[in-house]
Protein backbone atom coordinates (compact mmCIF):
# COMPACT_ATOMS: atom_id res chain seq x y z
CA UNK A 1 0.00 0.00 0.00
CA UNK A 2 1.33 3.42 -0.90
CA UNK A 3 2.58 5.56 1.96
CA UNK A 4 1.83 9.19 1.39
CA UNK A 5 2.39 12.34 3.39
CA UNK A 6 -0.93 13.27 4.97
CA UNK A 7 -1.60 16.58 6.79
CA UNK A 8 -3.84 15.00 9.44
CA UNK A 9 -5.58 11.74 10.33
CA UNK A 10 -9.28 11.71 9.39
CA UNK A 11 -10.23 8.76 11.60
CA UNK A 12 -8.38 9.97 14.70
CA UNK A 13 -10.20 13.30 14.34
CA UNK A 14 -13.58 11.65 13.74
CA UNK A 15 -15.14 13.07 16.92
CA UNK A 16 -14.51 16.57 15.57
CA UNK A 17 -16.42 15.68 12.38
CA UNK A 18 -19.29 14.30 14.49
CA UNK A 19 -19.46 17.56 16.49
CA UNK A 20 -19.43 19.68 13.33
CA UNK A 21 -22.27 17.60 11.87
CA UNK A 22 -24.31 17.89 15.06
CA UNK A 23 -23.82 21.66 15.18
CA UNK A 24 -25.16 21.88 11.61
CA UNK A 25 -28.02 19.38 11.96
CA UNK A 26 -29.42 20.28 15.41
CA UNK A 27 -30.59 23.84 14.54
CA UNK A 28 -32.26 22.42 11.44
CA UNK A 29 -34.05 19.73 13.44
CA UNK A 30 -35.26 22.31 15.96
CA UNK A 31 -36.56 24.44 13.09
CA UNK A 32 -38.23 21.44 11.43
CA UNK A 33 -40.13 20.61 14.63
CA UNK A 34 -40.96 24.21 15.52
CA UNK A 35 -41.88 25.82 12.18
CA UNK A 36 -41.65 22.99 9.65
CA UNK A 37 -41.04 23.48 5.93
CA UNK A 38 -42.42 26.22 3.71
CA UNK A 39 -44.44 23.99 1.39
CA UNK A 40 -45.24 25.29 -2.06
CA UNK A 41 -48.51 24.67 -3.85
CA UNK A 42 -47.19 21.30 -5.08
CA UNK A 43 -47.58 20.03 -1.50
CA UNK A 44 -50.09 22.29 0.26
CA UNK A 45 -52.37 22.98 -2.69
CA UNK A 46 -53.04 26.33 -4.32
CA UNK A 47 -52.95 28.27 -7.57
CA UNK A 48 -50.04 29.51 -9.66
CA UNK A 49 -50.19 32.39 -12.12
CA UNK A 50 -47.30 33.10 -14.46
CA UNK A 51 -47.89 36.61 -15.80
CA UNK A 52 -46.01 39.12 -17.95
CA UNK A 53 -46.78 42.82 -17.81
CA UNK A 54 -46.58 45.27 -20.69
CA UNK A 55 -44.61 47.75 -18.60
CA UNK A 56 -42.25 47.76 -15.60
CA UNK A 57 -44.12 46.64 -12.49
CA UNK A 58 -43.07 46.17 -8.86
CA UNK A 59 -43.98 43.45 -6.39
CA UNK A 60 -45.64 46.07 -4.17
CA UNK A 61 -47.97 47.15 -7.00
CA UNK A 62 -49.03 43.54 -7.64
CA UNK A 63 -49.59 42.95 -3.93
CA UNK A 64 -51.78 46.04 -3.69
CA UNK A 65 -54.03 44.62 -6.42
CA UNK A 66 -54.13 41.18 -4.81
CA UNK A 67 -55.08 42.70 -1.47
CA UNK A 68 -58.50 43.45 -2.90
CA UNK A 69 -59.03 39.68 -3.28
CA UNK A 70 -57.75 38.87 0.24
CA UNK A 71 -54.48 37.57 -1.27
CA UNK A 72 -52.03 39.98 0.36
CA UNK A 73 -50.00 37.04 1.71
CA UNK A 74 -49.45 35.51 -1.74
CA UNK A 75 -45.92 34.59 -2.85
CA UNK A 76 -44.73 36.89 -5.68
CA UNK A 77 -41.46 36.13 -7.46
CA UNK A 78 -39.87 38.01 -10.34
CA UNK A 79 -39.10 35.64 -13.24
CA UNK A 80 -37.91 38.25 -15.78
CA UNK A 81 -37.80 42.02 -16.25
CA UNK A 82 -41.60 42.27 -16.48
CA UNK A 83 -42.59 38.68 -15.61
CA UNK A 84 -43.82 37.42 -12.25
CA UNK A 85 -44.88 34.10 -10.73
CA UNK A 86 -47.74 34.50 -8.27
CA UNK A 87 -48.60 31.65 -5.87
CA UNK A 88 -51.80 31.91 -3.85
CA UNK A 89 -54.33 29.82 -2.02
CA UNK A 90 -56.45 27.67 -4.31
CA UNK A 91 -58.61 29.90 -6.50
CA UNK A 92 -61.77 29.02 -8.33
CA UNK A 93 -61.99 29.61 -12.09
CA UNK A 94 -63.98 32.79 -11.52
CA UNK A 95 -61.55 34.13 -8.92
CA UNK A 96 -58.65 33.35 -11.21
CA UNK A 97 -60.21 35.34 -14.07
CA UNK A 98 -61.05 38.22 -11.75
CA UNK A 99 -57.46 38.47 -10.48
CA UNK A 100 -56.03 38.50 -14.01
CA UNK A 101 -58.59 41.08 -15.14
CA UNK A 102 -57.74 43.34 -12.17
CA UNK A 103 -54.00 43.06 -12.84
CA UNK A 104 -54.59 43.85 -16.50
CA UNK A 105 -56.74 46.92 -15.90
CA UNK A 106 -54.81 48.44 -12.97
CA UNK A 107 -51.21 47.76 -14.01
CA UNK A 108 -51.24 48.65 -17.70
CA UNK A 109 -51.90 45.31 -19.37
CA UNK A 110 -50.86 41.74 -18.59
CA UNK A 111 -50.43 38.46 -20.47
CA UNK A 112 -51.27 35.22 -18.65
CA UNK A 113 -48.56 32.76 -19.67
CA UNK A 114 -49.45 29.89 -17.36
CA UNK A 115 -52.16 29.07 -14.87
CA UNK A 116 -52.07 25.94 -12.68
CA UNK A 117 -54.13 24.66 -9.80
CA UNK A 118 -53.00 21.89 -7.44
CA UNK A 119 -55.30 20.38 -4.83
CA UNK A 120 -54.02 19.34 -1.36
CA UNK A 121 -54.82 15.68 -2.10
CA UNK A 122 -52.39 15.70 -5.03
CA UNK A 123 -49.82 17.40 -2.81
CA UNK A 124 -50.11 14.72 -0.12
CA UNK A 125 -49.85 12.00 -2.77
CA UNK A 126 -46.62 13.61 -4.01
CA UNK A 127 -45.19 13.60 -0.47
CA UNK A 128 -46.09 9.91 -0.02
CA UNK A 129 -44.51 8.94 -3.33
CA UNK A 130 -41.36 10.87 -2.46
CA UNK A 131 -41.04 9.02 0.86
CA UNK A 132 -41.59 5.64 -0.85
CA UNK A 133 -38.95 6.54 -3.45
CA UNK A 134 -36.41 7.43 -0.76
CA UNK A 135 -37.10 4.24 1.21
CA UNK A 136 -36.86 2.06 -1.91
CA UNK A 137 -33.59 3.76 -2.89
CA UNK A 138 -32.16 3.22 0.60
CA UNK A 139 -33.03 -0.50 0.60
CA UNK A 140 -31.57 -1.06 -2.87
CA UNK A 141 -28.38 0.81 -1.96
CA UNK A 142 -27.91 -1.31 1.18
CA UNK A 143 -28.39 -4.48 -0.88
CA UNK A 144 -25.89 -3.34 -3.52
CA UNK A 145 -23.24 -2.19 -1.03
CA UNK A 146 -23.65 -5.39 1.01
CA UNK A 147 -23.11 -7.45 -2.15
CA UNK A 148 -20.19 -5.31 -3.34
CA UNK A 149 -18.54 -4.66 0.04
CA UNK A 150 -20.23 -5.55 3.34
CA UNK A 151 -23.42 -4.84 5.27
CA UNK A 152 -21.81 -2.46 7.78
CA UNK A 153 -20.57 -0.24 4.96
CA UNK A 154 -24.12 -0.14 3.62
CA UNK A 155 -25.41 1.05 7.00
CA UNK A 156 -22.66 3.69 7.25
CA UNK A 157 -23.44 4.93 3.72
CA UNK A 158 -27.18 5.25 4.46
CA UNK A 159 -26.48 7.15 7.69
CA UNK A 160 -24.28 9.55 5.71
CA UNK A 161 -27.11 10.06 3.20
CA UNK A 162 -29.53 10.72 6.06
CA UNK A 163 -27.02 13.28 7.32
CA UNK A 164 -27.03 15.04 3.91
CA UNK A 165 -30.83 15.08 3.68
CA UNK A 166 -31.22 16.49 7.21
CA UNK A 167 -28.76 19.29 6.50
CA UNK A 168 -30.63 20.35 3.34
CA UNK A 169 -34.05 20.07 4.99
CA UNK A 170 -32.81 21.98 8.03
CA UNK A 171 -31.41 24.87 5.99
CA UNK A 172 -34.61 25.16 3.95
CA UNK A 173 -36.64 25.09 7.18
CA UNK A 174 -34.50 27.68 9.00
CA UNK A 175 -34.67 30.18 6.14
CA UNK A 176 -38.23 29.15 5.15
CA UNK A 177 -37.24 28.66 1.52
CA UNK A 178 -40.24 27.38 -0.41
CA UNK A 179 -40.07 23.75 -1.53
CA UNK A 180 -41.88 22.19 -4.48
CA UNK A 181 -41.75 19.00 -6.55
CA UNK A 182 -38.34 20.04 -7.97
CA UNK A 183 -37.00 19.93 -4.40
CA UNK A 184 -37.74 16.18 -4.26
CA UNK A 185 -35.82 15.72 -7.51
CA UNK A 186 -32.92 17.66 -5.96
CA UNK A 187 -32.87 15.43 -2.86
CA UNK A 188 -32.80 12.27 -4.99
CA UNK A 189 -30.00 13.76 -7.10
CA UNK A 190 -28.01 14.61 -3.98
CA UNK A 191 -28.40 11.06 -2.70
CA UNK A 192 -27.20 9.63 -6.01
CA UNK A 193 -24.17 11.95 -6.11
CA UNK A 194 -23.21 11.32 -2.49
CA UNK A 195 -23.51 7.53 -2.65
CA UNK A 196 -21.35 7.48 -5.78
CA UNK A 197 -18.57 9.34 -3.96
CA UNK A 198 -18.90 7.04 -0.94
CA UNK A 199 -18.68 3.88 -3.03
CA UNK A 200 -15.50 5.11 -4.73
CA UNK A 201 -13.92 5.66 -1.31
CA UNK A 202 -15.08 2.26 -0.05
CA UNK A 203 -13.65 0.65 -3.19
CA UNK A 204 -10.25 2.23 -2.50
CA UNK A 205 -10.43 1.05 1.12
CA UNK A 206 -11.12 -2.50 -0.07
CA UNK A 207 -8.15 -2.43 -2.44
CA UNK A 208 -5.84 -1.16 0.29
CA UNK A 209 -7.10 -3.75 2.76
CA UNK A 210 -6.24 -6.51 0.27
CA UNK A 211 -2.71 -5.13 -0.11
CA UNK A 212 -2.01 -3.93 3.43
CA UNK A 213 1.05 -5.02 5.33
CA UNK A 214 0.81 -7.04 8.50
CA UNK A 215 0.33 -4.92 11.60
CA UNK A 216 -1.15 -1.89 9.81
CA UNK A 217 -4.20 -0.68 11.73
CA UNK A 218 -7.61 -0.40 10.08
CA UNK A 219 -7.85 3.33 10.88
CA UNK A 220 -4.57 3.92 9.04
CA UNK A 221 -5.82 2.03 5.98
CA UNK A 222 -9.02 4.10 5.92
CA UNK A 223 -7.11 7.37 6.39
CA UNK A 224 -4.71 6.55 3.54
CA UNK A 225 -7.62 5.63 1.28
CA UNK A 226 -9.39 8.91 2.05
CA UNK A 227 -6.32 10.96 1.17
CA UNK A 228 -5.78 8.96 -2.02
CA UNK A 229 -9.28 9.85 -3.23
CA UNK A 230 -9.25 13.42 -1.89
CA UNK A 231 -8.08 15.15 -5.09
CA UNK A 232 -10.79 13.41 -7.13
CA UNK A 233 -13.51 14.33 -4.61
CA UNK A 234 -12.49 17.99 -4.45
CA UNK A 235 -12.10 18.40 -8.21
CA UNK A 236 -15.45 16.76 -8.93
CA UNK A 237 -17.43 18.79 -6.41
CA UNK A 238 -15.80 22.06 -7.54
CA UNK A 239 -16.72 21.46 -11.18
CA UNK A 240 -20.32 20.70 -10.24
CA UNK A 241 -20.52 23.73 -7.95
CA UNK A 242 -19.27 26.08 -10.67
CA UNK A 243 -22.18 24.99 -12.88
CA UNK A 244 -24.68 25.23 -10.02
CA UNK A 245 -23.54 28.73 -9.03
CA UNK A 246 -23.96 29.85 -12.64
CA UNK A 247 -27.48 28.39 -12.70
CA UNK A 248 -28.29 30.01 -9.36
CA UNK A 249 -27.25 33.43 -10.63
CA UNK A 250 -28.53 33.21 -14.20
CA UNK A 251 -31.17 30.48 -14.26
CA UNK A 252 -34.11 32.53 -13.04
CA UNK A 253 -36.35 32.23 -10.00
CA UNK A 254 -38.25 29.18 -11.18
CA UNK A 255 -35.28 26.86 -10.57
CA UNK A 256 -33.53 28.72 -7.76
CA UNK A 257 -34.93 26.49 -5.01
CA UNK A 258 -33.84 23.30 -6.75
CA UNK A 259 -30.38 24.66 -7.61
CA UNK A 260 -29.84 25.92 -4.06
CA UNK A 261 -30.78 22.50 -2.66
CA UNK A 262 -28.33 20.84 -5.07
CA UNK A 263 -25.57 23.30 -4.18
CA UNK A 264 -25.95 22.71 -0.44
CA UNK A 265 -26.54 18.96 -0.76
CA UNK A 266 -23.63 18.19 -3.09
CA UNK A 267 -21.24 20.21 -0.92
CA UNK A 268 -22.42 18.44 2.22
CA UNK A 269 -22.40 15.11 0.37
CA UNK A 270 -18.72 15.48 -0.48
CA UNK A 271 -18.04 16.22 3.20
CA UNK A 272 -20.12 13.31 4.50
CA UNK A 273 -18.53 10.77 2.15
CA UNK A 274 -15.15 11.56 3.70
CA UNK A 275 -15.92 12.68 7.24
CA UNK A 276 -19.09 10.75 8.10
CA UNK A 277 -19.48 7.51 6.11
CA UNK A 278 -15.94 6.15 6.54
CA UNK A 279 -15.58 7.09 10.25
CA UNK A 280 -19.00 5.55 10.97
CA UNK A 281 -17.94 2.34 9.23
CA UNK A 282 -14.79 2.33 11.37
CA UNK A 283 -16.96 2.69 14.50
CA UNK A 284 -19.05 -0.30 13.42
CA UNK A 285 -15.94 -2.38 12.73
CA UNK A 286 -14.47 -1.36 16.08
CA UNK A 287 -17.64 -2.47 17.89
CA UNK A 288 -17.42 -5.76 16.00
CA UNK A 289 -13.89 -6.34 17.26
CA UNK A 290 -14.97 -5.53 20.81
CA UNK A 291 -17.75 -8.11 20.49
CA UNK A 292 -15.15 -10.68 19.35
CA UNK A 293 -12.07 -9.99 21.47
CA UNK A 294 -10.31 -13.10 20.23
CA UNK A 295 -10.41 -12.17 16.55
CA UNK A 296 -7.57 -10.51 14.69
CA UNK A 297 -7.67 -6.89 13.64
CA UNK A 298 -9.47 -6.26 10.35
CA nearest neighbour of 163 among 27, 10, 25 = 25
- Residue 292's pLDDT is 65
Q: Is residue 117 classed as helix, strand or coil in its secondary structure?
A: strand
Residue of 256, 237, 235 lying closest to 247 (CA atoms)? 256
The answer for residues whose C-beta is within 8 angstroms of residue 65's C-beta and 6 or more apart is: 99, 102, 103, 106, 107
Alpha-helix runs per DSSP H in the chain: 14-34, 41-44, 59-67, 93-106, 120-148, 151-174, 181-211, 218-250, 256-272, 278-291
Distance of CA 46 to the CA centre of its chain: 24
Spans in the chain with pLDDT lower than 70 = 1-5, 119-123, 291-298
- Residue 122: the pLDDT is 60
How many C-alpha atoms does 4 have within 13 Å on its Cβ side?
A: 17
Which residue ranges form the domains of the chain, and what is each CATH number?
A: 14-39+122-291 (1.20.1640.10), 46-118 (3.30.70.3400)
Q: How far apart are CA 260 and CA 183, in angstroms?
A: 9
Cβ contacts of 72 within 8 Å, gap of 6 or more: 63, 66
User: Phi then psi for 91, rounded to 5 degrees?
Assistant: -110, 145
pTM of the model: 0.81
pLDDT of 123 reads 64
Strand partners, 114: 50
For residue 120, the model assigns a pLDDT of 65
Q: What DSSP letter does each residue of 26-44 carry, written as one string?
A: HHHHHHHHHT---B-HHHH
Amino acid sequence: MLRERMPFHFIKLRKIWYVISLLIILPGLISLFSQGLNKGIDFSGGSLLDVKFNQATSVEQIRDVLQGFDLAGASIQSSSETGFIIKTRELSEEENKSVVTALDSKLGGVTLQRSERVGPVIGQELINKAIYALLAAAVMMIIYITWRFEFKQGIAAILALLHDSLVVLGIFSIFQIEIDSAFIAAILTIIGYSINDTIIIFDRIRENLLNKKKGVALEDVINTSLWQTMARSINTVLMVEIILVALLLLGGTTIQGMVLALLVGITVGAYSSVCVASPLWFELKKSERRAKPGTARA
